[in-house]
Structure 1
């Protein structure tokens, strides 16, 4: 299998069209358990968001087969670095699967220096941290989540404790929100038409299904 085919197999970094995203909505192909740490700095602002993703064994084995260039059934440091480099370059188009909303405004993240990758007990792990563009003070209503806008990868926070705030929030109230999928679909069924999903401008509907941590300050 050539490298371009290998990259296509690495599902979370594929750039899908809107039509592909629609098909993937019912059937995610890649599954990951996640942890998110929202770090608060000494000056009462969000200093960075720390991500940990642990991927399912099937997908992880696929990555092993595709990137184990010396065929020793291990991912050596240089092979792990190659996976991290490809994912880093590709996720830049998707804001690194990071959703930050402050007072109704979407906030982009600064491109991180890199993504660290490891392979433990048959599962692929990724670790990286991102910062909000132009900084982010603790002010108003804030929401932090992780999701794949193509709906190809299902990123799940198994426990509420997998989304944490570290540092002094100065009394901000924090809540983990797990949206009800059936309720969201029922509320938006009139707008979820074929034209909606075939809009050439794209529609980022998947963010409404993402588990998120909300801060109200």
Structure 2
């Protein structure tokens, strides 16, 4: 029993570490390639935000070691379900890392019932969708970012095509992938980079400033 608990705690360095407060000066310990699709309807509304995360092989292998209860070096359906349950509960507090604003105002989201988990080619995958908690019309400026506010996990959109708009109104807005320059952001906020700044977890924290985001300009 004690050995099993120790193994679980190693993976919780990610799963629980995602929900434990850390300073913004911490560097990432877990890395994942990410993809975001903003699904739209033909009548000009955002339907949902679809996410796919593919984790690095080092972290993925540690998950196999910790959750492979039958020691067959794969994650079966029951083992994946346990990971899914743990991650779904852990990330709920952070809206599953999805940040949405419309014309400068935060947009709330309704969370999925579960984060789906799979294991392919030596890498752990998580995929899920969230939806706006109220009507979100494609009007004005909409910005969507996916990031870990604690900066424990780095979600990397390698190509601009990894952030896209799909569905019936996919061509209604002009879309731009914004990749903030870290040096420029720090220089612009030099006066406020105090200990209190790094301890904040609100909308102005450093992780949000540095996050890659997709901006939609809609008429």
Find the aligned partners of 1:94 and 1:75 in 2 and give their Cα distance: 26
Distance change in 2, residues 1:202/1:144 (3 Å): closer
TM-score of the pair, normalised by structure 1:
0.91
TM-score of the pair, normalised by structure 2:
0.90
- Any conservation in 2 of the 1:55–1:123 contact (CA below 8 Å)? yes
Find the aligned partners of 1:140 and 1:58 in 2 and give their Cα distance: 42
Find the aligned partners of 2:29 and 2:190 in 1 and give their Cα distance: 24
Distance change in 2, residues 1:139/1:12 (3 Å): farther
SS at match of 1:43: coil
Shift, 1:42, TM fit = 2.5
Shift, 1:8, TM fit = 5.5
Q: Kindly tell me the number of residue pairs found equivalent between the two proteins.
A: 213
Shift, 1:44, TM fit = 1.1
Distance change in 2, residues 1:7/1:97 (3 Å): farther
Deviations 1:76-99, CA, capped at 9 Å, x for gaps: 101101111111111100011001
- Structure 1: gaps of 5 or more residues: none
Find the aligned partners of 1:171 and 1:47 in 2 and give their Cα distance: 14
- Structure 2: gaps of 5 or more residues: none
Q: CA RMSD in A?
A: 1.9
Find the aligned partners of 1:153 and 1:198 in 2 and give their Cα distance: 17
Distance change in 2, residues 1:66/1:23 (3 Å): farther
Deviations 1:42-96, CA, capped at 9 Å, x for gaps: 3210000110000001111111111111111110101101111111111100011
* Equivalent in the alignment of 1:22: 24
SS at match of 1:75: coil
- Any conservation in 1 of the 2:33–2:156 contact (CA below 8 Å)? yes
* Equivalent in the alignment of 1:154: 154
* Equivalent in the alignment of 2:78: 78
* Equivalent in the alignment of 1:214: 215
Shift, 1:113, TM fit = 1.8
